[in-house]
Every structure is written in structure tokens, then in C-alpha cells.
Amino acid sequence: MSKCPCGSELEFSACCEPVISGATPAPTAEALMRSRYSAHVKGIYEYLGTSMHPEMRGDLSVDEIKEWSEKISWTGLEILDTKAGGENDEVGEVEFVAHYKLGGMPQELHEHSFFRKEGKDWFYVEGMVQNHDTYRRETPKVGRNEPCPCGSGKKFKKCCGKN
């Protein structure tokens, strides 16, 4: 047996697997979020389509999801916050960070995901990716062929901009 990739410390068979397989509906928006992460890790890409709200599927391509997700080595899920999304709610929001490696470099996807419940089933509606803070330069950017700001009289690329 193996632990569930979602980080719950439960066995996969007792956590996200029954939700992904359709044996039991996700009881909460967070449970659906965790199952979607686990589906990425386990390569169950069709579930990512079926767990998305039908109105939002549009031209969703499972092949494109697969192509993107297979380039990534998923390393962990961190749930930061939930708003509503309980068993008796109709909408919910989950803020999370999914940790992964791309080309061996650690990365993270920070997202606010929105969910809607219809009948007994929760669906992923959309997500808003949270960007890192914008880098603001203190001084104007120096071009490679401009004079070096150190005052040497050389081009920047031949002086302080040398690799």
C-alpha cells in the first residue's frame, strides 16, 4: 500500500482513489482539490476532465493536460486556506501550493481554486494562479552595448556584464 500523494497521510486506497474512481463523491471542495492533485501525480488525466464543471470544459484536451503534467515531477501539496466548500455548501474556494520539479528545478504553483457543488458532486470551476511579486529595478536596465555604468569607458558586455 502507498500513502496518498495529496499529503493526507492516509493510504491512497482510503483517500483519493475512491473519489477518482467514482466509487464515492468528494465530500468537500478540499477533498476534490486533493483528488485532482493526486490524479496528476498518478497520471489519471481523464479524471481532471470529468471533475471539471461541465460548463467550463469547453475545448478541454486531456492530451494537453497529460503532455504538460508528464513533464513535471510532483513533490507535494500544501493547502493554505479553504473558504466554505463543506458538505452542506454549494460553493467553495481552496488556496493551495503544489510543489513540483521541472527540469530538475524546484517550482511551485500557487492557486486559488473555485468549486461548485451540484447534487452530491463537487466540480472544479476555475483557478486563479497567484504570481510572484513583480521585480522592480532600482535603476534603468543597462543594454549590452551601452557604456558600462562603472565608468570604465568599456561596453557593458565587455566589462561588468561579462559572464
At 12 the three-state DSSP class reads helix
**Global pTM value:** 0.79
The pLDDT assigned to 134 comes to 46
The pLDDT assigned to 11 comes to 97
**Residues 75, 84 contacting (CB under 8 angstroms):** no
Q: Sorting pLDDT into bands at 50, 70 and 90, what band is 158? A: confident
Distance of CA 79 to the CA centre of its chain: 11
Instruction: Spell out the residues 6+ positions from residue 124 whose beta carbon is closer than 8 angstroms to its own.
Output: 32, 33, 36, 51, 52, 53, 56, 113, 114, 115
Query: Within 13 Å and on the Cβ side, how many CA atoms surround 21?
Result: 9
Torsion angle of C-alpha atoms 23, 26, 27, 33, degrees rounded to 10: 160
Query: pLDDT of 59-97, one tens digit each?
Result: 888 899 899 889 999 999 999 999 999 999 999 999 999
Domains of the chain in sequence order: 12-132 (3.10.450.50), 135-162 (no CATH)
Q: Give the whole-angstrom CA distance, residue 120 versus residue 81.
A: 23
Query: pLDDT of 17-36, one tens digit each?
Result: 999 999 999 999 999 999 99
Tell me: pLDDT of 136 over 70: no
At 19 the three-state DSSP class reads helix
Tell me: pLDDT of 138 over 70: no
**Residue 83, strand partner residues:** 93
Which residue has cell 496528476? Answer: 40
C-alpha cell of 129?
A: 494562479
Tell me: pLDDT of 135 over 50: no
Average pLDDT of the residues in 147-160: 79
Tell me: pLDDT of 57 over 80: yes
